[in-house]
Amino acid sequence: MRVLGIETSCDETGIAIFDTEQGLMSHIVYSQIALHADYGGVVPELASRDHIRKTLPLIKQALTEAGCTAESIDGVAYTAGPGLAGALLVGAAIGRSLAFAWDKPALAVHHMEGHLLAPMLEQHAPQFPFLALLVSGGHTQLVRVDGIGRYQLLGESIDDAAGEAFDKTAKLMGLEYPGGPLLAKLAASGDAKKYAFPRPMTDRPGLDFSFSGLKTAAANVIAAEGKTPQVQADIAASFQQAVVDTLVLKCRRALKETGLKSLVVAGGVSANESLRMQLADLMKSLKGQVFYPGKEFCTDNGAMIAYAGWQRLRAGQAQDLSIGVTPRWPMQQLPPV
């Protein structure tokens, strides 16, 4: 089975083609970073319009790179949520329309399920059941995964997501958009013990997260200490360490509570090297394993949508002819495969 995947949930247009026998045949991501940089964040209307301009040309490019024709595609998968409503509608309208024109089944894919399953694209893939840490600009969640569509939400952020806190703190420091990766790079030359930032909600039971208070603490230090290069590096290192410590502590707690030995980490923040190092130490101490998507599949991409869509399309799931999106969509509502 060969599936075309379309991702347009925010500020990346991702197109990919996944085949049962050949695996990933093509994979293209167009980023809108330059478009939104002047505004310091994503402008939803501009994002939607750019998806309109880019999606069809990128689909044609992906088909050419894969050596495919429309006739050789067996199904179309597109992100239907969570995400920006306008951006989602672009991918949904194009995906559903192409499927209708080609007389192929279409499937609306949950964006976070795509991230969760992205490590399955790797040669060394996890086996069910496992614990998943989904950590990105929009979500921070701990999920028990017993199979595709068999998800139990164990904890989530009650305010800012970890990636969002990275970006907002970077903006306060005057770093260019998107600031999260720049803050992580700056942290490499800083002293992570210089500032005693809080680790919110780690002194109480439970698996929920909170990062808005940490961001506020960083803002106060930035205002008081100034923005010299070394001060910025120390703030970045101390802030990053507080986020990583919080994520690792909650993962340890969740693994012990569930008794699971496999941890999947996905989403944009999963590319953070400091987080990877500390989670490697954690899983070694627990005699378990940690799995990641490839670095190119940590951020939003069409490959994860094509793969997630393939899993459900081959199980006989498909959409009707209506075009709809769900900007807020709990993953627990997904049917099992």
Rounded distance, CA 138 to CA 32, Å? Answer: 17
Q: Which residues contact 216 (CB under 8 A, 6 or more apart)?
A: none
Residues linked to residue 291 through DSSP beta bridges, in sequence order: 264
Among 300, 311, 238, 221, CA closest to 267: 300
- Going from the C-alpha of 79 to that of each of 13, 88, 106, 112, 175, the distances in angstroms are 11, 7, 11, 10, 30
Closest CA to 253 of 113, 117, 115, 131: 131
CA distances from 94 to 8, 21, 172 (A): 10, 26, 38
Q: How far apart are the first and last CA of the chain?
A: 16
Annotated binding site: 111, 115, 134-138, 167, 180, 272, 300
Supply φ then ψ for residue 150, to 5 degrees.
-110, 80
| Binding annotation for Fe cation | 111, 115, 300
- Strand ranges for the chain from DSSP E: 2-7, 12-19, 23-31, 75-81, 106-110, 130-135, 140-147, 150-156, 262-266, 289-291
Contact between 152 and 332 (Cβ < 8 Å):
yes
Which amino acids are annotated as binding site for substrate, given as ranges? 134-138, 167, 180, 272
How many angstroms separate the CA atoms of 44 and 87, rounded?
7
Residue 164 CA from chain centroid, whole number: 12
- Radius of gyration of the CA atoms of the chain, in A: 20
| 89 touches 58 (CB < 8 A) | no
The strand pair at 12-19 and 2-7 is best described as antiparallel
